[in-house]
Structure 1
Amino acid sequence: MKAARDAQSVAVVINAGARLGAVTADQAVDMLRNAGLPITAVHKIQSGTDLALTLERVMAENHDLVVVGGGDGTVSFAAGRLAGTGTVLGVLPLGTANDLARTLEIPSTLPAACAALADGKVVDIDLGRVNGQPFLNVASVGLSVGVTETLSPRLKRRLGPLAYVVAAVRAYARHQPFQARLEFPGGDHPAIELENLLQVAVGNGKHYGGGNAVSPTAGIDDHTLDIYAIPGARLREHVRIARLLKDGSFVERSDVHHATTQRVLLVTDPPMPVNLDGEIATVTPADFTVERNAVHVVVPQNSTAAVLDG
Structure 2
Amino acid sequence: MPIPQKAIVIHSPASGKSSRLAEATNGLRTAGLEIVETFPISALDKLPPQGRCWQERGIDLVVAAGGDGLIGGVTSHIVSSSLPMGILPLGTANDVARTVGIPMDIPKAVAVIASGKAMSMDIGIAEPAEQEPHHLADSNPTNADHPHSYFVHALTIGLNVKFAKFATDKKMRKKFGNLTYAAAVARALQSYTPIDVELRFEGLALYEHEVNGKPIGKPKVLDKPITIHSKIAQVAIVNSPVFWGALEATVPGVDLNDRLLDIVVIEDNRLEHLIFKILRFFGRRNAQKANPERWYAQFPELLAAERTNIAGIHHVQAQGIIIYAKDKRTDVTLDGEVRGVTPMHAHVANERLKIIVPA
- TM-score category, normalised to shorter length: 0.7 to 0.9
Displacement of 1:28: 0.9
Q: Which residue of 1 aligns with 2:106?
A: 110
Question: CA RMSD of the aligned region, Å?
Answer: 2.5
Provide the C-alpha distance between the structure 2 equivalents of 1:170 and 1:177, rounded to a whole number of angstroms: 15
Share of identical aligned residues, percent? 28
Equivalent residues of 1:19, 1:156 under 8 A apart: no
Q: Which residue of 1 aligns with 2:301?
A: none
Q: Which residue of 2 aligns with 1:305?
A: none
- Deviating more after overlay: 97-106 vs 178-187: 178-187
Equivalent residues of 1:55, 1:78 under 8 A apart: no
> 1:43 and 2:38 equivalent?
yes
Q: Which residue of 1 aligns with 2:185?
A: 168
> 1:95 and 2:91 equivalent?
yes
In the TM superposition, what whole-angstrom CA distance separates every residue of 1:89-108 from its partner, at most 9, and x where no partner exists?
A: 11111111111111111011
For 2:193, give the aligned amino acid. Answer: Q
TM-score for the superposition, normalised by structure 1: 0.86
Provide the C-alpha distance between the structure 1 equivalents of 2:97 and 2:249, rounded to a whole number of angstroms: 13
In the TM superposition, what whole-angstrom CA distance separates every residue of 1:165-218 from its partner, at most 9, and x where no partner exists?
A: 3211211111111111111233636211112x1111101111234355462111
Aligned length in residues: 294
> 1:119 and 2:177 equivalent?
no
Structure 1: tracts of 5 or more residues without a match: 302-310
> 1:206 and 2:241 equivalent?
yes
1:287-298 correspondence runs (5 A): 287-291=345-349, 294-298=352-356
1:184-263 correspondence runs (5 A): 184-186=201-203, 188=222, 190-195=226-231, 197-210=232-245, 211=247, 213=249, 215-244=251-280, 246-247=282-283, 251-263=308-320
Provide the C-alpha distance between the structure 1 equivalents of 2:89 and 2:172, rounded to a whole number of angstroms: 18
Provide the C-alpha distance between the structure 2 equivalents of 1:264 and 1:43, rounded to a whole number of angstroms: 37
Provide the C-alpha distance between the structure 1 equivalents of 2:193 and 2:334, rounded to a whole number of angstroms: 20
Q: Which residue of 1 aligns with 2:6?
A: 9
Equivalent residues of 2:151, 2:335 under 8 A apart: yes
For 1:192, give the aligned amino acid. Answer: I
Equivalent residues of 1:107, 1:113 under 8 A apart: yes
Secondary structure, in 3 states, of the residue corresponding to 1:244? helix
For 2:189, give the aligned amino acid. Answer: Y
TM-score for the superposition, normalised by structure 2: 0.75
Provide the C-alpha distance between the structure 2 equivalents of 1:48 and 1:268, rounded to a whole number of angstroms: 33
Provide the C-alpha distance between the structure 2 equivalents of 1:206 and 1:293, rounded to a whole number of angstroms: 19
Provide the C-alpha distance between the structure 1 equivalents of 2:45 and 2:55, rounded to a whole number of angstroms: 14
Displacement of 1:278: 1.3
Provide the C-alpha distance between the structure 2 equivalents of 1:108 and 1:223, rounded to a whole number of angstroms: 28
Equivalent residues of 2:5, 2:32 under 8 A apart: no
